[in-house]
Amino acid sequence: MLQDEGFNSWHVSIDTASVWVSKFKKEGYEGLKDKRKSNGKHTNQELDNYVLEKFKEQRDKGLIILGSTLQLMALNAPSSIRPVDFKASKGWLNLFLKRNNISRRRCTQKLQTFVSSLIPEINGYLHVLEVFQDHLDDYVFLNFDEVPFFFDMASDYTFHNQGERNIAGLSHKNNKVRATFMPTICSNGHSLPPLIVGIYPYGAKSGRGFPKKYEHLQNLTKPYMLRFTDSGFTKDYIIVEYLKKVVLPYQERINKKICLLFDQAPSHTTSIVKDFLDENRITYLFIPSGATFLLQPLDVVLNKPLKDRVRKFYFKWLLDSVEKNKDGIIMPPSLDQMIDWCTNSMESIEPQLITKAFETCGISRSLAELYDQNLISQRLHSFVEDYFIQCDLAASDEEFGYNDSTENELRRIYEGQILDFE
């Protein structure tokens, strides 16, 4: 009978046929239905929609989603849309991902606060930038940011012949030692002498503020300022010294007001730094924490090409000038070499790229103009659009407008002092 019904052409085994007979005896024709069809070509669209909605909801919050997370979402779906005996197997997961064009991606950033939750702060920051719109000719924006450089910049990966298990890579004992390079760029295309902070000496505790062999560099006699700390990180008193010896003379030279833009690193936000800026009537603007990759010119445009250029110097040194001591141990590059690599790399940055960095972050020109001409970054574009929508709502409904108290609050948060507009 099976052959007459065409079952033979299906290549069905005796075991499978016996299972069908057993199911038919227990459940009738209902028992012959393939319970897995919702996981294959005939998808259970309701279950897919449920998991997709949960998936989008969690990703909008910035939470990391694993395969096991999606499987758990499916298992927790209402029984009315979940197939009988549904297992949420790996097979179901793979087909679900394929059906819905979901791929496994590496996180490019780890945030403590997801950027979408920063919309009110970003809108407030953009509003303060718009305050400058009628006074752009009177101001030059400055942005500085700390960039770490390790004395060993080689990768953990190397090309090598196949077949060998142990792949050695030559390095030196100070391969975890770092220095901090702090470039300063201006919205008019200028760059100021950078600050370099080294470790004194290589992490050792000491009461000295400057290693003896570098004392001749303590004064700003070269196109950079060199200082040392026990950690290699900047300190607030060093930031104040840099402002005094580099930023203030530059302001006097260009005869314009300055607005400093910087992130909320601990060395930037202390009362020592704020008091110095207030005393010298320098306006400053803190970039919302967690949004520097959207709003900080150095982060958005310049830090990567700067690091790439320094690495080129490093690899050239590694190929041509690497030295070993009498015991055959590779010698690390000197601090002098690191300084030369960083300063030369910064000097090679074109002024046009510097001005572009500010425009990409919505600074130095009218925000509306930069938005209309698509000169701001694509990632920032949606936030600026949201800001303009909120401004339109404020214009039509005073309840959501920027009243006097809101204006003062924004200035208190984002500026070091009330803007000196006449």
CATH of the domain at 301: 3.30.420
CB 70 within 8 A of CB 39: no
Residues 12 and 94 in one domain: yes
Furthest C-alpha separation in the chain? 102
The domain of 386 spans 117-147+184-191+250-414
Residues 24 and 140 in one domain: no
Residues 397 and 282 in one domain: yes
Report yes or no on 89 lying in a domain. yes
Residues 143 and 69 in one domain: no
Half-sphere exposure of 155 (CA within 13 A, CB side): 5
Residues 23 and 124 in one domain: no
Residues 39 and 129 in one domain: no
Report yes or no on 234 lying in a domain. no
Residues 136 and 60 in one domain: no
Q: What is the DSSP string of 38-66?
A: GGTTS--HHHHHHHHHHHHHHHHTT----
Q: 0.75 cut: is pTM over it?
A: no
Provide the domain count of the chain.
2
Residues 331 and 377 in one domain: yes
Residue type, 131: V
What distances in angstroms separate CA 153 from CA 148, 174, 224, 307, 312, one per listed residue? Answer: 11, 11, 22, 10, 10
CB 310 within 8 A of CB 147: no
Residues 17 and 71 in one domain: yes
Q: Per-residue pLDDT for the chain (422 aa), expressed as one digit of tens each?
A: 444 444 445 566 777 777 777 777 777 766 666 554 444 445 688 899 999 998 888 887 667 888 888 988 999 888 888 888 888 888 889 889 988 888 887 766 665 556 667 788 888 888 888 888 878 888 899 999 998 887 766 555 545 456 565 544 455 555 566 788 999 999 999 999 999 988 876 544 554 567 777 776 666 666 888 888 888 889 999 999 999 999 999 999 999 889 999 998 889 989 999 999 999 988 898 998 888 888 999 999 999 999 889 888 888 887 776 666 566 666 777 788 888 888 999 999 999 999 999 999 999 888 999 999 999 998 888 889 888 887 876 665 554 444 454 455 455 445 444 444 44
* Local structure of residue 115 (DSSP, 8 states): G
CB 238 within 8 A of CB 146: no
Report yes or no on 201 lying in a domain. no
**SS3 label, residue 228:** strand
Residues pairing with 180 in the sheet: 148, 197
Half-sphere exposure of 329 (CA within 13 A, CB side): 7
Contacts of 142 (CB under 8 A, 6+ apart): 184, 185, 186, 187, 192, 247, 258, 259, 260, 261
